[in-house]
Amino acid sequence: MSLRTNLATRPFYHERAVQVLLVIAAVAVAAITVFNARQLYALTSKDRALVAAADAAEDKTRGLNRDIARTRTGIDAAHVADVSAAAHEANVAIGQRVFSWTDLFNRLEAALPGNVRLASVRPEIDEQGRLVVTVGVVSKNVTGIEGFLDALEKTGAFQGLLSRQEHESKEGFVEASVEGIYAPSNAGSGGR
Amino acid sequence: MTLLARVASEHRRVLVPLGILAVVNIGVLALAVYPLSLKVAASQRRADAAAGRLAQVEHEVSRVHATLATTEQADKDLARFYVDVLPRDVSAARHQTYAHLAGLADEHNLVVTRRTYAIDEAYKGRLQRLQIAMVLTGEYPDIRDFIYALETSPEFVVIEGVTVAEGARLESGLTVNLQLATYFRGDGTHGS
């Protein structure tokens, strides 16, 4: 035998739906808690590592600064300048010594037309450290000198060749002072 | 009582702890995680700056040590150059060139018609410069061979210029002025 009357005093609601919502809320709160805990741990570790790295770098910087100061105290600036000037002087002298006149003469001879002859040769280092060669030549006419300049330029070892001075001698020859930058490394060896 | 209030009331045993935990999480996020992330950013900047300063100082240390090493090496090289390569004084320079140049000219069938030695008083440097002017007469191939022999001989003599005497012919019987120089480590008491 059963009751046929509804004895509920309050309206019915969906109990299962509320439980699902509560579970979702609990999971969300738990996830946020885990996230916060992980962030706190990660940030604390990272901060500790960064502070340690900065401290180490600053300590090392202080040590190196002391080392620099100590080393500088031991360096005599006047002595360094003196050695530098002496090294430059020695390098210039060695540069003159290793300059190959034979190579230069080989190139000049190969470029010299039949009606032109050499009168003088003088190499010098200019202010920019370039090797400038001044060649005095004597020719019956300017065509010979022009031919000489063209032939020299074709060797590839001379650049910016110019006839700086030119005059006619009492004998009627054209005497010219030809100047140009000599870079034998640009053109390979001129041979013995 | 509304349905929502009734549901809340019926599940307060779960809802209250969940709410408290959510509030605590928000508190932790606002009061711990966020300030800590700012501190980490500041530590990162400090570590970066410290690393930058360290790199600069390390570069400076390398530069200072390189200067020291270069100076020491240059000092050694110069000492070797002065002792092993250059004549020690004007007397040694004269010994090294006087007979040697005459012998070399003789060996190549050249006649030394004139020769002068002079200390270059205008030369400024740690070294002193001995200028040698030679007038040679002979065949052009012999003069070329003389120049080759001079530039390949161990004596530190540099050829500074070559001038063909006026009116001389290139083909044969040439007269050539050679401007030579050598350097020595004198103490300035070379006399006249």
- Chain segment A59-93, per-residue pLDDT in tens: 999 999 999 998 888 888 888 899 999 999 999 89
Contacts of A190 in chain B (CB under 8 A): none
Please state the rounded mean pLDDT for residues B135-145: 91
Residues 6+ apart with CB under 8 A from A178: A134, A135, A136, A137, A145, A148, A149, A152, A161, A162, A163, A164
Q: pLDDT tens for residues B79-108?
A: 999 999 999 899 999 988 999 999 999 999
CB-CB under 8 Å, A51 with B22:
no
Give the one of A11, A40, A192 whose C-beta lies nearest to B36's C-beta: A40
Residues 6+ apart with CB under 8 A from A153: A159, A161
Instruction: Name the β-bridge partners of A120.
Output: A136, B163
Please state the rounded mean pLDDT for residues A174-181: 92
Contacts of A25 in chain B (CB under 8 A): 18
Band (pLDDT 50/70/90 cuts) for residue B33 is very high
Report the pLDDT value the prediction gives residue A26, as an integer from 0 to 100: 93
Tokens 């500074």 found at: B160
A84 touches B: beta carbon within 8 Å:
yes
Weakest-pLDDT range from A5-9, A85-89, A97-101: A5-9
pLDDT over 90 (residue A168): no
CB A161 within 8 A of CB A152: yes
Residues 19-58 of B with CB under 8 A from A: 21-22, 25, 28-29, 32-33, 36-37, 39-40, 43-44, 46-47, 49-51, 53-54, 57-58
Report the pLDDT value the prediction gives residue A9, as an integer from 0 to 100: 64
Report the pLDDT value the prediction gives residue A75, as an integer from 0 to 100: 80
B135 touches A: beta carbon within 8 Å:
no
A31 touches B: beta carbon within 8 Å:
no
Alpha-carbon distances, residue A192 vs A101, A104, B144, B146 (angstroms): 10, 10, 10, 13
Please state the rounded mean pLDDT for residues B162-188: 75
Please state the rounded mean pLDDT for residues A87-107: 91
Residues 6+ apart with CB under 8 A from B33: A36, A39, A40, A43
Residues 6+ apart with CB under 8 A from B108: B138, B142, B143, B145, B146, B149
Alpha-carbon distances, residue B112 vs B38, B144, B147, B180 (angstroms): 90, 15, 14, 14
Min Cα distance B106 → chain A (Å) is 19
Give the one of B61, B125, B148 whose C-beta lies nearest to A67's C-beta: B61
A131 touches B: beta carbon within 8 Å:
no
